[in-house]
Amino acid sequence: MGSKVKMIEEKLKEMLVSLQQGIRTSDSEAILEGLGTLDKLLEAHRGELDPQLVHYLSRRSYEKALMHLEGKDGIPKGICGK
């Protein structure tokens, strides 16, 4: 994996953590910023990212996306079964 992809993944992870924090604290500005940045990063780098990560981000499964980026096992299957 190239350093560019690693940088994109780090930015995604940073935004996912920020989004979760915004949700916990009901910070609408942080939530809007996080969602917008995640959408832009996905749109700009879809072809460079792991397909499973793209799947999670496209479906707004942000907890699963963060687990994937952190290399965690046992990510629960959703209703689509992927």
In a domain? residue 33: yes
Q: Does residue 62 carry a pLDDT above 60?
A: yes
28 occurs within a structural domain:
yes
Average pLDDT over residues 46-57: 96
Residues 6+ away with beta carbon under 8 Å from 46: 54
- Residue 1 Cα distances to 27, 30, 57, 61, 67, angstroms: 34, 30, 19, 23, 18
pLDDT surpasses 70 at 79? no
Confidence category of residue 82, pLDDT binned at 50, 70, 90: low
Q: Is residue 55 part of a domain?
A: yes
Residue 75 has pLDDT above 90, yes or no: no
For 29-43, how does the pLDDT look when each residue is reduced to its tens digit (9 = 90+)?
999 999 999 999 999
What residue numbers bound the domain in which 49 lies? 3-69
Give the C-alpha separation, 57 to 63, whole Å. 9
Does 28 have pLDDT greater than 70? yes
Task: Please give the tally of structural domains in the chain.
Answer: 1
